[in-house]
Chain A
Amino acid sequence: MKIKTTMFKVKFKNKIPCDDEFKLGSDLAYYLPFLAELTEEVMNWDLSDIKEHTRQSKEEFDPLSKEYSNLFKEYAQIKLRANELYYRNRVVALTMGLLRQKLMQLKSSNVVLPLDYDKAIEKVEYFIYRYITKKQDDRLVEQVVFDER
């Protein structure tokens, strides 16, 4: 069986100085995702400009990374907390059918309570729907997904 392989070829507009085509090919393939950063702006840079811009990016990147890692920790904690509260409500909702029934009974017996029966029953029904009938809250399921590096 013949295995189909593709080898790409790129033609240059200029004669590119190159002693090692394999190395140039490897570098281009490796740095491919970053090439979009190189706009016409860089055309006027000399070597020290490039180094200076690289240094600036590095310098900005490190503290930003620290900030990012703190933010991510906060995200993990808040996500955990949100899940806990959601499940707490879910467990509570399991017994709320009884409360609904009780409210209906009290209402039909004309017991006077400091609440509006219809509104209270509606709230209980909503709670049961929200935490049992309805599927999981999308906000909890949706993860922060990053592109594969």
Chain B
Amino acid sequence: MKTIKQLVFDITQSRRIKNYAERLKIEPTSVLPQIQSVMEIIYQAWFKNYGKNREISFNDYFISMMKYAEYSHRLTQRHEEMKKVANHVEILRLAIVEYDIDYNDIITIENIAKSNQEGSE
């Protein structure tokens, strides 16, 4: 089986890495050590499995890991979004209560002032 000690990302792939780094406001080059360490983790995990079962290809193992990471990430993200939206709902709920209190106060004052006008007419 062919093995590699390094990988060169082509222009499109590199652009993706650059965009990702920009979004996180970090240097693109600091993304590379993360890739390196994840590949190390996956390689070691795969190697343990490969020792037990020679039919497990690195590629299959790698892709399964990536899919897991994607789902796990989406789940975490969704939990965070839920918190964010729930928090915002609460903020708006309080705003509504406040608007109503302000409104009722002012209408009460207006009615009292009006009642004097009507009484004097």
Contacts and interface: CB of A to CB of B under 8 A. Distances in A.
Chains A and B belong together in one complex: yes
Given A25-B7, A57-B71, A137 B95 contact: yes
Interface residues of A, number: 88
Interface in A1-59: 5-19, 21-22, 24-40, 42-47, 50-51, 53-54, 57-58
Contacts of B16: 29-30, 32
A105 B11 CA distance: 76
Interface residues of B, number: 85
Contacts of A19: 1-2, 59
Given A50-B64, A99-B109, A24 B7 contact: yes
A78 B99 contact: no
B17 A8 contact: yes
Given A64-B82, A140-B95, A36 B71 contact: no
B13 A26 contact: yes
Interface in B90-118: 91-93, 95-96, 99-100, 102-103, 105-107, 109-110, 112-113, 116
A13 B36 contact: yes
Contacts of B106: 92, 96, 99, 123-124, 127
A34 B49 CA distance: 23
Question: Which applies to chain B's interface (DSSP): helix, strand, loop or mixed?
Answer: helix
Interface string A86-100: 101100100010010
Question: Which applies to chain A's interface (DSSP): helix, strand, loop or mixed?
Answer: helix
Contacts of A137: 95
Most chain B CB atoms below 10 A, which of A34, A40, A114, A115 = A34
Contacts of B42: 38, 42
Interface of A: 5-19, 21-22, 24-40, 42-47, 50-51, 53-54, 57-58, 60-61, 64-65, 67-68, 71-72, 74-75, 78-79, 81-82, 85-86, 88-89, 92, 96, 99, 102-103, 106, 111, 113-115, 120, 123-124, 127, 130-131, 137, 139-140, 142, 144, 146-148
